[in-house]
Amino acid sequence: MSEATFERLVAHARETALLTSISGLVEWDEQTYLPRAGADYRAEQSAYLAGLVHRRNTAPEVGDWLAELRDSPLAADPASEAGCVIRQLSHRYERQTRLPAELVEAIARTSSQAQHAWVAARKADDFESFRPWLEKTLKLQREQAAAFGFERSPYDALLEEYEPGETAESVGAVLSGLREELAPLVRQIVESGVNAPSDLVCREFAVQQQEAFGKAAAAAIGFDFEAGRLDVTAHPFCGAAGPRDVRLTTRYQANDFGDGFFSILHEAGHGMYEQGLQADWFGLPPGEAISLGIHESQSRMWENLVGRSRGFWTRFFPQLSEAFPAAMAGVDPDAWWFAVNEAKPSLIRTESDEATYNLHIIVRFELERAMIEGDLEPADLPAAWNEAYANTVGVTPPSDANGVLQDVHWSAGLFGYFPTYALGNLYAAQFFDQAEADLGDLEPAFAEGEFATLLGWLRERIHSVGQRLSAADLVQKVTGKPLSHEPLMRRLRAKFGPLYGFG
Amino acid sequence: MSEATFERLVAHARETALLTSISGLVEWDEQTYLPRAGADYRAEQSAYLAGLVHRRNTAPEVGDWLAELRDSPLAADPASEAGCVIRQLSHRYERQTRLPAELVEAIARTSSQAQHAWVAARKADDFESFRPWLEKTLKLQREQAAAFGFERSPYDALLEEYEPGETAESVGAVLSGLREELAPLVRQIVESGVNAPSDLVCREFAVQQQEAFGKAAAAAIGFDFEAGRLDVTAHPFCGAAGPRDVRLTTRYQANDFGDGFFSILHEAGHGMYEQGLQADWFGLPPGEAISLGIHESQSRMWENLVGRSRGFWTRFFPQLSEAFPAAMAGVDPDAWWFAVNEAKPSLIRTESDEATYNLHIIVRFELERAMIEGDLEPADLPAAWNEAYANTVGVTPPSDANGVLQDVHWSAGLFGYFPTYALGNLYAAQFFDQAEADLGDLEPAFAEGEFATLLGWLRERIHSVGQRLSAADLVQKVTGKPLSHEPLMRRLRAKFGPLYGFG
């Protein structure tokens, strides 16, 4: 009996996955190739697909099937594929059916309008014009949290969407542990008085060669271009349009090699996770990414722990010099390595470095948590932002455009999303430690162009798991310990101490 | 009452148009950017979308609405927008609901398998391996014709899908009129002993410059790149992913300027028709193309009557010489114009010229009509093909790969499609005659880079009409006469007589 119901559930979910992946393609196209005048109709196409998917996900028959299956033997082992499908789809079904349709529509509509208001406000450096939209968005997010339900904090209900199983408290604990050690490290870097030769990265790097070099590097670390592509966009992202159709995007600036190149490695990290998921469960929980944080751990690992390592540049420096003979003429490999590892407190999160990045996230997490929990009003946000930046990052924004208005997330209604960026960095370092414990030092392999060993380890331990484990259980299973800030801090100290002359 | 029903019908059709246009985007992506390994899942996505669209189009409530509306005052004026919607959607609903689901599935499955068999058979030059698939396809197409129903010939029922309102008899009459005059003209060309300097087009034309030059030319004749794009594919086509999102494709060969360039003009002709349809009726009959033949009339007009005219090259020759200084060094404008107007009987339809093209179509039309009407068996097809080519085109295929196996259409189940290519050429010439009657000689305008007058005329008389008129009524209304082969023959004689020294 329950086998037949399970088959029905899976067949239904596979059809939904067809629509979701079509949606992914449609969004990829919107960010890459859509003609300017096509935007209005594209919005209608996307909204229609989203509605189709939502109606399928909340269809009453799905609820009936899940109710039957939850108590069946198929659900007995939660880490089995069937158990995973039943548990995860039940969780999603319950969450989605708790949201009244009017609230879903109000959030979608407000998000679109608020993002337009945000673009204008940032351009005009005018927080006050954005404030009413932030207030409206915040109100809707608090309503959404109430609809989802929560035990301690409404923030938990929102965070659950992006990092299932984590809470304001659990994330708060790990991030304040990180802050206590990271802030002093960044102060040491600043007080060292040492400056990285960052101008080396800002010479003239022709875009066409950047593309060829970046593609070659992504292929070398293991991204499969038979089952994926690389295109140009304004804000780099990675999307999947099918189990063997993963689309990386980047952007190129002729006078900033790092912006394009590290975006490619970052997105290739996301892309290799997608390519490593179980294809025969595509779009269903056993073949889906666990959480945004785990996804980000893969992008950060390949961007920073691999792509900014000495071993990586031992391998790629000669090829870089060959691809850009003029820009690289006379450049010393050590200087180049320091240049791509500059650490310096700055105003803009997306342009910040491996060392200071998490401080930007901590500021956002604390402010958005306070707003959602009712302890901070939007009217007081700019002052709170500037104070937090001065205290935590060590810089004071000269304007709201370069401060509180810099990120799209809050205008888009994405509360609870920011901390997944920092969690990604922490997961990455802890996984990488374990990989080196299992495989031995990896940098000598990188220096030989050998990346398949690390990728194989990630495939087996992380990618192929899908959602059969939660993020916390995965970390525990793979590394034998709960998540901690210590692996990341050790790596940061080991890299930046010597670079800035105090290690 | 009927107003409310009409609103429901239109809202339903607009949602279907969202899905159809998403399908268009998905197919465009398949032919341009899809990673190789993504093909299997893409086939599932496309089939799922096709199924969704088919279920919507044949939904019983649509039948109920249409039954109510057909006798309402809204349907009274068939050329009104409402009348057009009701008439055309009724026609489609009736046709689609006549097909049993099993037949639709058998056709889709066989088409996919038969196309694979055709690719292999063409490669191996082995008609016999394809014959069973052709027999199966033919049987299904005859079943489809029977399900649709017909008065005189089963071919009529199939042709209706591509060129509504036309029949085997009507098309046969116009094509045999054409053949009687065209075959002697081609013989005159051959017997003239004159050869075009076609090698000029086959010098080295760098692909990147071809793309820039082709885009500039498409923009100059009126294709709006704010509402469209141009990308690379294997077999050029034009698709619409939205009312202001029209996608041209072409291919480039470094040693064949004509293949890429005239494909761009051809697809831009299709694209300008799409861009000229009423955007507020996008995907509904008042905003849809009338027929494949009328669509082809627009592509052929811009490719041949504009793009291969003397006036066009008076304008573009200097720009061409500038874009390709090496290839064009010392080339005489008259020689270039002759080179892009070479006429010569050849084996392959898609590579044939303005003069001989329609002879290729006449062969296919007569053979496929005979097969559908039961007068020709697939086993006898290769001999019949070779005989027809010798008699009609004046060449004898040395192999089936270059003969009966050259086109994909029959393997794909597209019987009744070929004649629309020839009808397009006939419509184009007749429309163009009328445009010159209304606007005066157009070549002097082309020589000045003035294409907007012609485009404006097409927009008003043809594009904006959508399906409010049938193709036959449109031709009658625009030109005051029924379709005839005479305008095309007059143009061909006027161009090729002087070029080949007998005019």
Q: Return the sign of the alpha-carbon dihedral for residues B389, B343, B237, B421.
A: negative
Instruction: Determine which one of B163, B166, B267, B288 is catalytic.
Output: B267
Q: Which of A34, A49, A245 sits opposite B245 (nearest CB)?
A: A34
Task: List CB contacts (< 8 A) between A18 and chain B.
Answer: 44-45, 48
| A367 vs A388: CA distance, rounded Å | 9
* ipTM confidence score: 0.95
Give the position of tokens 């002697």: B184
Confidence tier at B418 by pLDDT (50, 70, 90): very high
**What is the pLDDT at residue A409?**
96
Query: What residue in A sits closest to B20 (Cα-Cα)?
Result: A45
| Phi-psi label, residue B480: left if phi above 0, alpha if psi -120 to 50, beta otherwise | left
B212-235 pLDDT, tens digit each:
999 999 999 999 999 999 999 999
What letter does residue B301 receive in the DSSP assignment? I
What are the chain B neighbours of A22 within 8 Å (beta carbons)? Answer: 22, 26, 45, 49
Contact A356, A393 (CB under 8 A): yes
DSSP A241: E
| pLDDT reported for residue A503 | 74
Residue A374 backbone class (left: φ over 0; alpha: ψ -120 to 50; beta: rest): left
Per-residue model confidence (pLDDT) at position B503:
74
Mean pLDDT in residue range B251-261? 97
Residue B120, C-beta contacts closer than 8 angstroms, at least 6 positions apart: B126, B129
Mean pLDDT within B325-340: 98
Question: What is the DSSP code (8-state) at residue A463?
Answer: G
Strand spans (E) along A41-149: none
Distance between CA atoms of residues A104 and A111, nearest Å: 11
- Among A23, A225, A245, A248, the strongest candidate for a mutation testing the B interface, having the largest count of B CBs within 10 A, is A245
The alpha helices in B222-309, defined as continuous H runs, are 257-276, 292-300
Structural contact between residues A423 and A299, judged by C-beta atoms closer than 8 angstroms: no
Q: For A15, which residue in chain B has the nearest alpha carbon? A: B48
To 5 degrees, how large is the angle CA B34–CA B36–CA B42?
55
- Chain A residue nearest residue B37, CA to CA: A227
Backbone Cα Rg of chain B: 23
Chain B hits for A223, Cβ within 8 Å? none
Q: Order of strands across the sheet with A238-242?
A: A228-232, A245-250, A238-242
Q: How many CB pairs under 8 A join A and B?
A: 93
The C-alpha of B245 sits at a distance from chain A's nearest C-alpha, in angstroms, of 5
Q: Please answer yes or no on whether A25 and B26 come within 8 Å at the CB atom.
A: yes
User: Distance between alpha carbon A360 and the CA centroid of its chain, in Å?
Assistant: 14
d(CA B302, CA B286): 23
Residues 6+ apart with CB under 8 A from A372: A138, A141, A142, A145, A153, A154, A155, A158, A415, A416
Task: Enumerate the domain spans of chain B.
Answer: 2-98, 198-341+421-458
Q: Has B267 been annotated as catalytic?
A: yes
| pLDDT beneath 70: ranges in chain A | none
Question: What does each C-alpha distance from B229 to A56, B28, B171 come to in angstroms?
Answer: 34, 11, 34
Kindly state the tokens that stand for B457: 């005329």
**Could you report the per-residue pLDDT of B71-115, keeping only the tens digit for each?**
999 999 988 999 999 999 999 999 999 999 899 999 988 998 999
List % helix, strand, coil for chain B (3-state, nearest 5).
70, 5, 25
pLDDT mean over B11-24: 97
For residue B1, is pLDDT > 90? no
Cβ–Cβ of B35/A227 closer than 8 Å? yes
Residue B303 DSSP symbol: I
pLDDT for A112 equals 87
Sign of CA dihedral B409, B412, B414, B415: positive
Residue A25: which of A54, A52, A45, A51 has the closest Cα? Answer: A45
For the stretch B152-177, pLDDT in tens is: 999 999 999 999 999 999 999 999 99
Measure the CA–CA gap between A19 and A49, rounded to whole angstroms: 7
Residues A160, A166, A267, A288: which is the catalytic one? A267
Closest approach of A428 to chain B, Cα-based (Å): 29
B chain contacts of residue A41, beta-carbon cutoff 8 Å: 21, 242-245, 282
Name the DSSP letter for residue B201. G
- From the CB of residue A76, how many other CB atoms can be counted at a distance below 10 Å? 11
Taking the CA of residue A41 and the nearest CA in chain B, the distance in Å comes to: 6
Average pLDDT score over residue span B452-464: 98
The structure tokens 């007569």 sit at: B366
3-state secondary structure of B394: coil
A-chain CB neighbours of B46 within 8 Å are none
